[in-house]
Amino acid sequence: MKFDYPAPEGVLMPYELAMLQRLFNRALRKQGYAKTDVEAKMLATTMMDLYRRGLRDERKLRIMFAI
């Protein structure tokens, strides 16, 4: 469920977290990483950083991470 009002700065809504989790899981499968791998942690950090900087379109994030 999406809301029309923005969340306070730095707070992600449940639908945003769900999308990022879905993309992260897809990237892990494609790259063959386990969630505990250093590369997975770097991937998560990069995804979150891009999202916080304004890259919020799921399709564009998939393109960025080739997933």
The structural domain count of the chain equals 1
30 to each of 2, 9, 13, 16, how far by Cα in Å? 28, 31, 26, 21
In a domain, 6, yes or no: no
Q: Rounded distance, CA 13 to CA 31, Å?
A: 27
The pTM (predicted TM-score) of the whole model is 0.79
Structure tokens at 38: 């250093």
In a domain, 17, yes or no: no
Check residue 3 and give its pLDDT: 56
Check residue 11 and give its pLDDT: 83
Binning pLDDT at 50, 70 and 90, where does residue 7 land?
low
Residue 46's domain comprises 23-64
Check residue 6 and give its pLDDT: 57
In a domain, 55, yes or no: yes
pLDDT digits (tens, 9 = 90+) for 19-59: 999 999 999 999 999 999 999 999 999 999 999 999 999 99
Does position 16 have pLDDT exceeding 70, yes or no?
Answer: yes
In a domain, 59, yes or no: yes
